[in-house]
Structure 1
Amino acid sequence: MNFWERITGSDLTREWKAFEARAQALPADHQAAWGQIKTHLFPYGDFTGRGLLPILDAALGLLEEASAHGLSVREVLGDDIPGFCAALAGGEGARTYRDRWREQLNRNVARKLGRLGG
Structure 2
Amino acid sequence: MNFWETITGSDLTRDWKAFEVRAAELPSDYREAWKEITMHVLSYSDFTGRNLMPILDNALGLLEETASDGQSVHEVLGDDIAGFCAALAGGEGARTHRDRWREQLNRNVAKKLGRLGG
TM-score after normalising by structure 2: 0.98
**Identity, % of aligned pairs?**
75
CA distance in 2 between counterparts of 1:93 and 1:70 reads 32
Structure 1 runs, 4 residues or longer, greater than 2 Å off: none
**Cα distance in 1 for residues equivalent to 2:112 and 2:80:** 42
Cross-structure match for 1:8? 8
Letter aligned with residue 100 of structure 1: R
State the distance in 1 between where 2:95 and 2:5 align. Answer: 28
- Residue 61 of structure 1 pairs with residue 69 of structure 2: no
SS at match of 1:57: helix
Q: CA deviation at 1:38?
A: 0.4
Q: How does 1:1-118 map to 2 (within 5 A)?
A: 1-118=1-118
SS at match of 2:51: helix
Tell me by how many angstroms 1:43 deviates: 0.6
Backbone CA RMSD of aligned residues? 0.6
Give the AA of the match of 1:95. R
Counterpart AA for 2:94: A
Cα distance in 2, alignment partners of residues 96 and 80 from structure 1:
18
Distance 1:48 1:73 in 2: 29
- For structure 1, the 5+ residue unaligned runs are none
SS at match of 1:98: helix
SS of the aligned residue for 2:67 comes to helix
